[in-house]
Structure 1
């Protein structure tokens, strides 16, 4: 199975599928707009150059930013600033203060920032510095739409820059890695998680013995650590990378020499052709390592790693699992994954062309023939997907994060706590490898669903519909306002047609649905379940469907109408089907 371009208009179901997986979801009006577009036209709306950078978060203690200016005794405590950063980042998923024509691309860029965070993971409790977290976040934003970057900047160069990123130097102990006493933590994760990986999970790795992981060996970890030795955190954030114009780490030394960098040659294993990394004599100072020569050695290592076919396959698998489906067998590896890896390599190791190829392929929307390989509903929504997707569907508006920062932090903090309740501790993954859903073979995103987490998902739906507007005074559509705005009266007045339409708006469907239709993607029993939740909660009507038609058509008994629609939306949004995208 390989990539096949899709050129016809998307239609409603495909458009909904694309928007759920790229921008967390959308209103039905936007889905209808995208339905008339071809995939090629649609992704032009998602990838956009020259997007605005978000304004810096505000510290309520000083009523000003603290990221660029630094902190003083007047600022909030460090843990509070970390919390404000996280709430600010979550709020960006709803694109506040962004012109309408740029909102979709802005949100998609933030989704890619989140993808890069799941790939190059960090933990706020280990980093312990909101400014370091912010600047790493800004680095990911810089590289999210990498087709628009200068020629020398791509995913490969991001791998070099993340190596000396201040947050990463703290998280994986790079600051403790010095000549004569190498710390291998980062080098191991760099190989296993960030670049070449350990091959297709569940497949034979052709290991040659202990310390051989199929794509790299223990020798490569040790030599890689020596390559990366001698760097330190810059707590002043004044050491600026000229490529990104963002703060980066520094070298241990006097500024001219890198006296804690291992300056001897490093030889990799047979997995990398016994390649040797040596300092460039033109970059040394009287034979001593310099910041330039130390960075050049990292570049040599990155070049060698990316020369391996398996590196492209590993990155392609990560992208496929995030946006497509977690299960990759040898057939998928030989087809879609190999095609995506080829696009990655042919486009100088940029991820934007890979996603463009994937999002315009028939396989992204349809998979193979039959019900066992279908893209629709193949990913369990992460807590962020669930919360932000529902907020976008009901046009939730957060307070202005600059002018109303206290109300903004209260609202986004409430959303963040709900996400935490569902099992995603934002910027605090349980494992050094990151959130289990994005790396843990073989369950991957199925780890989002436990008895406790599912209960919290259902509770969030009810909270959003019942309480959130009253508690936080937020603007968002109620179920009755949603129906009045997005569903035609001729459909809304017919209880069965209304159930079908609400399911069509919110559930991941590839085909049509209808009562008494054997080809319907939702069974008649399932649709009757939603109808019963909608009409028969109180069993007050002899003929509930006729009573509904009368109330809606004549605009009477709005209290009952509102309650019935609330029951319908709760029934659909608390269903197992709604947990999928």
Structure 2
């Protein structure tokens, strides 16, 4: 759905084709604080963009705040300190001699081929668990954002402990200081392995990380990015000397591997020279390099553009570049690259809440799956029942991978194309392969859910419980209206809602008024026998299967 589609939905149907094809101007709302109307629509928009989905209870909770206060709480709520991933993988083929079942493997020193693959799978299931069970915070959404930005691949790193440590690093800096985060990422074992930083020595300089540091992580490829191939080579020389210590599970600087000569940079960097340092002091050249890079205004603009595309909309017009991106970049630089002030300014703005920016992003596969689980309040096996619990989250993980978003393994160092590839952006998530898989997943969760392999625990949607959470579920109009508001990224016309009511809840019985559904619901509420429950559930399954197969369910 484009902005033009949004505007067209407000136009009278009898307007002439010429009027309906008019080109609408850029939206003019800016970064001034949004105040009203602070209604359910605005709350749902905020939650869908900053968390995963907008559960009914969360909407009710944030309605009591203003937009500014809601954003402040989302940014300042400390995430739950989650227990690390565990051994859920022992079976008749593999036994982890060092880590008992149910205990964490993150400090283990043995990593065989079979154990590595299973620990990585355990890690990914653990990460899916964090997203689905998140508290009221933007934190999990930001971890996913930074994972796409500082992309690594478990298939390349192939070291579970390093991969887990990398995720903890993203969590630590998710709302912290971007410059400090970049330094930590640069010497992170997973990144050193992924982009060959540990192989970068004075005798054999490797330009891989020096290139991506500028092209993908800090400067970008925007209109103000004019670093040169010489700058890539010079940066690679600065970054020589770091090595991985697998047994210690960390990195170290080796002066013998470091190029201690002077490094000349181009006019883009003011012809700066980073003076070569010898011995242990050579490690400080990294600070010199980052200081030089972060002195460039394009760094702030590049990151602000990425945040805008992720949280607001994909099309950055010249007007938005001038009125939104540049002022946000000024805030970023003024606060020494602290991430939180930028998000606070953007997410509490009139521009963010503008009607033209609502329901215009196609959910990523992760968003599609996690939002469904959270909005329907899907129950998962308890922590004590950890085998079934991990199995259930792995099921969600694999469904996302089938839809072309395998967390931990983006397609390349640039991340997923839907976050950066113009002009399609989010449309890339939906194609002839992935759309049927989305519908199959939502159908399965509605119709029969998933039974875990170990104890056959049921993981699915309790449709009656969800309907009860809505206002007046005995009223077919209220049930449909509430379901549409809470589940769909765009409203449905009145005639379409009427069609849903007649064809599904009223079974196309022409002589039946609304009381047909009301009687069904009331009969169950007063006498919840298996027979009455089956009748109600059958209707609800038809209703929610239909709603989640609509294009509007793909939007947030």
CA shift for structure 1 position 540: 5.8
Superposed CA offset, 1:129-150 (max 9, x none): 110100011111111132xxxx
TM-score normalised to the size of structure 1? 0.83
Question: Is this contact kept in 2: 1:326–1:444, CA < 8 A?
Answer: yes
Answering whether residue 104 of structure 2 is matched by residue 65 of structure 1, we say: yes
Superposed CA offset, 1:155-211 (max 9, x none): 1011111111100011111112111321111111111110010115xxxx6xxxxxx
* Partner residue of 1:278 out of 270, 275, 278: 275
Question: Is this contact kept in 2: 1:187–1:224, CA < 8 A?
Answer: yes
Deviates more, 1:436-445 or 1:126-135: 436-445
CA shift for structure 1 position 409: 1.5
Deviates more, 1:54-63 or 1:548-557: 548-557
Match of 1:266 in 2: 263
Structure 1 alignment gaps of length 5 or more: 97-102, 147-153, 206-213, 239-246, 253-257, 281-287, 368-373, 510-520
RMSD: 2.2
* TM-aligned CA distance change 1:330 to 1:571, over 3 Å: same
Question: Is this contact kept in 1: 2:34–2:350, CA < 8 A?
Answer: yes
How many residues end up aligned between the 2 structures? 508
Provide the C-alpha distance between the structure 1 equivalents of 2:541 and 2:327, rounded to a whole number of angstroms.
Answer: 46
Match of 2:353 in 1: 365
CA shift for structure 1 position 336: 0.7
* Partner residue of 2:179 out of 143, 156, 159: 156
Match of 1:195 in 2: 218
CA shift for structure 1 position 462: 0.8
* Partner residue of 2:361 out of 379, 392, 395: 379
* Partner residue of 2:401 out of 420, 437, 443: 420
Provide the C-alpha distance between the structure 2 equivalents of 1:572 and 1:448, rounded to a whole number of angstroms.
Answer: 19
Match of 2:151 in 1: 121
User: Which structure 2 residues correspond to residues 161-180 of structure 1 after superposition, within 5 A?
Assistant: 161-180=184-203
Match of 1:572 in 2: 547
Match of 1:151 in 2: none
Q: Does the residue aligned with 1:181 lie in a helix, a strand or coil?
A: coil
Match of 1:446 in 2: 427
Match of 2:380 in 1: 398
Answering whether residue 9 of structure 2 is matched by residue 25 of structure 1, we say: no
Superposed CA offset, 1:287-346 (max 9, x none): x332xx333111111111111111100010111111111111221111111121111111
CA shift for structure 1 position 273: 0.8
Question: Is this contact kept in 2: 1:109–1:145, CA < 8 A?
Answer: yes
Provide the C-alpha distance between the structure 2 equivalents of 1:495 and 1:439, rounded to a whole number of angstroms.
Answer: 42
Structure 2 alignment gaps of length 5 or more: 1-27, 91-99
Match of 2:252 in 1: 250
Provide the C-alpha distance between the structure 2 equivalents of 1:533 and 1:410, rounded to a whole number of angstroms.
Answer: 37
Superposed CA offset, 1:355-389 (max 9, x none): 1111111111116xxxxxx1111111011111111
* TM-aligned CA distance change 1:161 to 1:533, over 3 Å: farther
CA shift for structure 1 position 264: 0.5
Question: Is this contact kept in 2: 1:59–1:76, CA < 8 A?
Answer: no
Superposed CA offset, 1:101-127 (max 9, x none): xx213xx32221111111000001100
Answering whether residue 122 of structure 2 is matched by residue 84 of structure 1, we say: yes
Match of 1:46 in 2: 74
Provide the C-alpha distance between the structure 2 equivalents of 1:568 and 1:488, rounded to a whole number of angstroms.
Answer: 16
CA shift for structure 1 position 435: 1.1
Provide the C-alpha distance between the structure 1 equivalents of 2:33 and 2:235, rounded to a whole number of angstroms.
Answer: 40
Provide the C-alpha distance between the structure 2 equivalents of 1:411 and 1:166, rounded to a whole number of angstroms.
Answer: 30
* Partner residue of 2:133 out of 84, 91, 95: 95
Answering whether residue 175 of structure 2 is matched by residue 145 of structure 1, we say: yes
Match of 1:547 in 2: 516
Question: Is this contact kept in 2: 1:534–1:571, CA < 8 A?
Answer: no
Match of 2:470 in 1: 487
TM-score normalised to the size of structure 2? 0.86
CA shift for structure 1 position 432: 2.5
Question: Is this contact kept in 2: 1:84–1:409, CA < 8 A?
Answer: yes
Provide the C-alpha distance between the structure 2 equivalents of 1:176 and 1:440, rounded to a whole number of angstroms.
Answer: 30
Question: Is this contact kept in 2: 1:508–1:578, CA < 8 A?
Answer: yes
Answering whether residue 446 of structure 2 is matched by residue 498 of structure 1, we say: no
